Amino acid sequence: MRFSRVTLLALLSATNVLGQVVEGNKDIAPEDKKDAIVIDGANDVDPSEMKPTANFTISYTILEKPPYEISEFLEFETEDAATLNYTITNNEPFNYTLNSVGGAIMRFEDGINAANISAGKFDPVLRVNVNQTVSVQQRVTFLNMKDDDYYIQPRIYVQEMDTTEEIELPAPLTLLTIMKPPMSLFDPQFLSVQILVIGVIAAISYFFLNYTLTGKQKKNTSKKSVAEKKVDTSSFLPEQYKK
């Protein structure tokens, strides 16, 4: 399925209406409905196939970047790292554990998975009681990422106490642009170019100087030969003038 900028920005806007949080199955107040973008596909899904959810408030900031708009592309260079600082609140009437955080990095153009974010498991797991808020961090490194536009799709994994079922909850998306770092003077590729350019300049200089010096030497030799050559004019004089 091909994403468009309008579609993804609509999804971001829908999340932004809820204050950059994702709350499972939370109703929007009537007075807010006129401003909200609601994407409702529940009627088209078989209830037996619906994934379990939980009412959690999830938000995060990226420590390496100043406060930003949700529709803004954050710029990173290849091999940079982003630290996601989560704030997670349990709105359920039951106690839960926070087991891990993970997610994926998706290409902005078509929504294809470009890289997985390794799940950071908590050992021991973090307990999140009713109405309790916890803060955790997740470090994401953009290794071997091609320069392009992407979005981060974080997920957290929680589990109700005294149960065995783990629930995956999405966090807000963040747009980002990966760029190639500026080339260093000591980069091997750049050094090879420098060596090649210096070699070409040295070769041209050598041949130019050699040609110039050779030309001067030939010219000096020719002048010297002319200067040293003597002409015998006695054969042209009458006998009485010869000595």
Which of 129, 156, 179 terminates a domain? The answer is 179
Residue 204 belongs to domain spanning: 188-241
Q: Please state the pTM of the whole predicted model.
A: 0.60
Predicted confidence band of residue 179 (pLDDT cuts 50, 70, 90): very high
Q: Are residues 139 and 36 in the same domain?
A: yes
**Angstrom distance (rounded) from CA 21 to CA 223:** 93
Q: Are residues 196 and 174 in the same domain?
A: no
Q: Are residues 175 and 208 in the same domain?
A: no
Which of 134, 161, 179 terminates a domain? The answer is 179
Domain containing residue 44: CATH number? 2.60.40.10
Q: Are residues 213 and 121 in the same domain?
A: no
Q: Is the separation of the CB atoms in 96 and 52 below 8 Å?
A: no
Q: Are residues 72 and 121 in the same domain?
A: yes
**Angstrom distance (rounded) from CA 205 to CA 110:** 53
Question: What are the start-end ranges of the E strands in 91-181?
Answer: 96-107, 113-128, 133-141, 148-160, 166-170, 174-179
- Name which of 92-101, 182-191, 193-202, 209-218 the model is least confident about: 182-191
Per-residue pLDDT, 112:
93
Cis before 124? omega within 30: yes
Alpha helices in the chain (DSSP H): 5-17, 188-228
Local structure of residue 50 (DSSP, 8 states): S
| 78 to 71, 154, 179, 188: CA distances (angstroms) | 21, 19, 6, 17
Per-residue pLDDT, 218:
60
Q: Tens digits of per-residue pLDDT, 90-130? A: 999 999 999 999 999 999 999 999 999 888 899 899 999 99
Q: Tens digits of per-residue pLDDT, 35-73? A: 433 334 445 556 666 788 999 999 999 999 998 888 899
Q: Are residues 25 and 130 in the same domain?
A: yes
Q: Are residues 96 and 200 in the same domain?
A: no
Q: Which residue has the higher pLDDT, 220 or 213?
A: 213
